[in-house]
Amino acid sequence: MANNQKYFAGSRKQFVLSENWAEPYTLDELAVDSRKVSEISTWLSSHRHKGGILLVTGPTGCGKTAVVKCVSRSLSFEIREWITPLDRDYQTGIETGVFQNQTEKFEDFLYSSSRYSNLFVKTSNVASLLLVEDYPNIFLLKPEIFHGILGQYCKIALAPIIFICSDSSDKSVDIAYELFPQNIQRQFDITHVSFNPVTRTKMMQALKRMGAYLQSLSPGYKLPTQDSLNEICESANGDVRYAMLSLQMKPQEDVVAMFDFAGKRGPSNKKKSNFTKQTQEDEAVSTCGKDDRVGLLHAVGRVLYPKWKAEGEKINSSNVKRKRKEDEKHLDATMPGVEWIHNPNTLADSYSSSAGSFLLLVQENYLKTYSSIESVAAAAFSLSLGDVAMNSEGVQISHEISFNAAIRGVMVHNKSPHRAWNQVKSSRCHAILNTQKKLSTIMETLFPLYPVSPTVLMTEVLPYMYLTSADNLSNGEIVHLFSILLYFKGPVKTDKQKSVTFSEQLKFVKAVASMESLTNFCENYKTLREPYNAQKSERATFVLDLKKQKIEEKDDELHISEDESDNEVDEGAANLTMLEAAMAEDVDLDEGAQNLSMLEAVIEEEVDYNALLNDSDDDDILLSQL
């Protein structure tokens, strides 16, 4: 306690107290790779007194801001940082009669700070540098406003500007990704410097420097042991700011002793107080440690390929199940322990907010890592249990516990994960829901008054309707519906009658081309014909598009004169969404066996996933080596 007070009371230029934690002051104190530092300093010196945009990205606490500050100090730049105003300033608004919103203020900031120099700085060779780390929220919602402002800035700028963004695991909240997409970076000639997490050696150096400094402040300060430094390094995960903070906050022996004393005064015996001391120390470093939240795909990988340190004999799964992180120490004595390398509790803790999508990913991919059907059955059981528990209405089972149970089940039952390169695929559940919705909308529009429920329509009437009235079909959407309906991927034993061949589809299209009157499936409901006729022209467009597609894909005997189709294409354009959706499906269907329709949207992501998964494997290996 005394030490801390001394520390906070002390002042030295190297550690600016207003920053609340020790920030490096000179270039060689930086814990960042020197190449990155020089990259920034060359950029800065080449942009003295002229406009230019630099984007600095990296994980949190890897020293992005520190580097910029140090470098600008060494090159005598004066930093002007944008701080988003909390609220509209009504008082000044009333006085001056000018109300500005955040966007205007930001524009103002860019304009004036880059032009006018600080009145209070006497020396004239100080150049200004704009720093933006805090983004007005409106930009995140509407990046185009931001890009407009950037364009303005580029035209008039007299001072360089640096944008700092933290990396984030989720693309939807990644500022750099939202605000600075590739094309914008090219358009405004933005230089991009990306930082890596701080390396272990560098962090160790920084920690030691900090320790020495703390000691110089108060001679009573005991330097932390190498072990605890290691521990801090471990838990910091490349976040030097966090490492510094935890070193500062790490209680000294005498502080713990005080707690200890309090414990002794109670009725407890000595043994217990020893235990409390131990746990307190433990908590001080490890439990308030930085959440080592890994990326979603890393975490899924950890579930799919569970790893444990087995000591002695084979693992008994029920023992593993009982195991909890907190009582590991106690259980160790009683059972020949298994220790998760990646504990399911931690995973469940950090992903309980996105448990649903996590489980979907696990479900989609777990089969590939299993080797026996028995364990698959057990794992599938726990997944299904997890799903039920998460949706339970009556007895509220904690979301987190059910999620934990589900992934634990998948991990525990996989005794020997089948290790091979597997793509992590995203789940098809949502894609299928979308297809279902699409199909039911088509059905609703086509058979609005057919007197049976949609289920019956789908399972009973429509399959036969195709068989019995194929020759009379003259409606593009119906043809389309049938082609979806009857097209099953995967081998189906069918005879000629049942399968829709390409030539049959063409036959439909030809029938449509002759534009005979629409077949009315609901003849009993004659009053309903008007809306259909109204849609006729739209359908014509659809059908023509369909025809075009087919011609493009396979050179066929189907000929339509270009003029005719062009004319009619011009006619109608409405109902686009449905047609588009339908078309997208159609292409796939025609293409044949490729099961792209579900995965199309996903493919792009998958590529990322693969890359990430490889990374995750590497990480795992690294970790196990450590």
Binding segment toward another protein, per CB under 8 A, in 261-269, 320-328, 344-352, 451-459: 451-459
Taking the least distance from each CB to another protein, the nearer of 112 and 472 is: 472
Cα 49 from Cα 110, distance rounded (Å): 14
Binding segment toward another protein, per CB under 8 A, in 272-280, 323-331, 524-532, 604-612: 524-532
* Options 363, 475, 505, 616; binder of another protein; rule CB under 8 A: 363
* Options 93, 266, 451, 592; binder of another protein; rule CB under 8 A: 451
Cα 295 from Cα 617, distance rounded (Å): 12
Binding segment toward another protein, per CB under 8 A, in 37-45, 105-113, 233-241, 452-460: 452-460
Taking the least distance from each CB to another protein, the nearer of 45 and 594 is: 594
Structure token pair of residue 460: 């009973």
| Among candidate residues 284, 275, 276, 283, the one with its CA nearest the CA of residue 259 | 276
* Options 459, 567, 614, 624; binder of another protein; rule CB under 8 A: 459
| Among candidate residues 522, 517, 511, 502, the one with its CA nearest the CA of residue 593 | 502
| Least distance to another protein, CB of residue 472, Å | 6
Phi, psi of 15 (to 5 degrees): -120, 105
* Options 367, 569, 587, 602; binder of another protein; rule CB under 8 A: 367
Cα 275 from Cα 277, distance rounded (Å): 5
Cα 550 from Cα 506, distance rounded (Å): 9
Q: How many CB atoms lie within 10 A of CB 198?
A: 28
* Options 75, 397, 439, 569; binder of another protein; rule CB under 8 A: 439
| Least distance to another protein, CB of residue 457, Å | 9
Taking the least distance from each CB to another protein, the nearer of 351 and 521 is: 521
Taking the least distance from each CB to another protein, the nearer of 315 and 461 is: 461
| Among candidate residues 471, 463, 424, 429, the one with its CA nearest the CA of residue 443 | 463
Of residues 286-315, those binding another protein (CB under 8 A): none
Q: At what angle do helices 240-249 and 200-217 cross, to 10 degrees?
A: 30
* Options 327, 374, 608, 618; binder of another protein; rule CB under 8 A: 374
Structure token pair of residue 227: 């072990």
Taking the least distance from each CB to another protein, the nearer of 291 and 444 is: 444
* Options 152, 440, 533, 594; binder of another protein; rule CB under 8 A: 440
Binding segment toward another protein, per CB under 8 A, in 97-105, 225-233, 273-281, 358-366: 358-366
* Options 1, 140, 310, 528; binder of another protein; rule CB under 8 A: 528
DSSP 157-225: --SEEEEEEE--SSGGG-HHHHHS-HHHHHHTT-EEEEPPPPPHHHHHHHHHHHHHHHHHH-TTPPPPP
Length of the chain: 626
Strand partners, 70: none
| Least distance to another protein, CB of residue 349, Å | 22
End-to-end CA distance of the chain: 35
Binding segment toward another protein, per CB under 8 A, in 25-33, 462-470, 502-510, 600-608: 462-470
Please list the helix, strand and coil fractions of the chain in percent, rounded to the nearest 5, in that order. Answer: 60, 5, 30
Taking the least distance from each CB to another protein, the nearer of 429 and 584 is: 429
Count, residues near another protein per rule CB under 8 A: 74
Question: What does each C-alpha distance from 273 to 157, 253, 278, 280, 596 come to in angstroms?
Answer: 65, 15, 9, 10, 63
* Options 218, 435, 575, 610; binder of another protein; rule CB under 8 A: 435
Chain Cα centroid distance, residue 552: 38
The site string for another protein over 376-395 (x = CB under 8 A, - otherwise) reads xx--xx-xx--xx-xxx---
Taking the least distance from each CB to another protein, the nearer of 53 and 304 is: 304
| Least distance to another protein, CB of residue 73, Å | 55
Within 8 A by CB and 6+ apart from 93, the residues are: 99, 100
Taking the least distance from each CB to another protein, the nearer of 92 and 533 is: 533
Cα 205 from Cα 227, distance rounded (Å): 14
Of residues 463-492, those binding another protein (CB under 8 A): 463-465, 467-470, 472, 484-486, 488-492
Taking the least distance from each CB to another protein, the nearer of 269 and 455 is: 455
Taking the least distance from each CB to another protein, the nearer of 100 and 422 is: 422
Cα 603 from Cα 298, distance rounded (Å): 19
**Torsion angle in degrees (nearest 10) through CA of 444, 450, 453, 459:** -90
Taking the least distance from each CB to another protein, the nearer of 395 and 622 is: 395
Of residues 552-611, those binding another protein (CB under 8 A): 595, 598
Residue 458 binds another protein (CB under 8 A): yes
Structure token pair of residue 593: 């066996």
* Options 45, 76, 92, 520; binder of another protein; rule CB under 8 A: 520
Taking the least distance from each CB to another protein, the nearer of 113 and 363 is: 363
| Least distance to another protein, CB of residue 34, Å | 50
| Least distance to another protein, CB of residue 435, Å | 4
| Least distance to another protein, CB of residue 246, Å | 41
Taking the least distance from each CB to another protein, the nearer of 9 and 449 is: 449
Phi, psi of 71 (to 5 degrees): -65, -45
Taking the least distance from each CB to another protein, the nearer of 278 and 371 is: 371
| Least distance to another protein, CB of residue 385, Å | 8
Inter-residue contact 475 to 435 (CB < 8 Å): no
Of residues 490-519, those binding another protein (CB under 8 A): 490-494, 497-498, 519
Question: DSSP secondary-structure letter at 12?
Answer: B
| Least distance to another protein, CB of residue 612, Å | 22
Of residues 16-75, those binding another protein (CB under 8 A): none
| Least distance to another protein, CB of residue 459, Å | 6
Question: What does each C-alpha distance from 464 to 44, 257, 301, 507 come to in angstroms?
Answer: 73, 83, 46, 18
Taking the least distance from each CB to another protein, the nearer of 218 and 575 is: 575
Of residues 405-434, those binding another protein (CB under 8 A): 428-429, 431-432
Strand partners, 128: 78
Chain Cα centroid distance, residue 118: 41
Structure token pair of residue 228: 């605890």
Tell me which long-range contacts 556-560 makes (C-beta under 8 A, separation of at least 24): 556/506, 558/506, 558/509, 558/510, 560/513
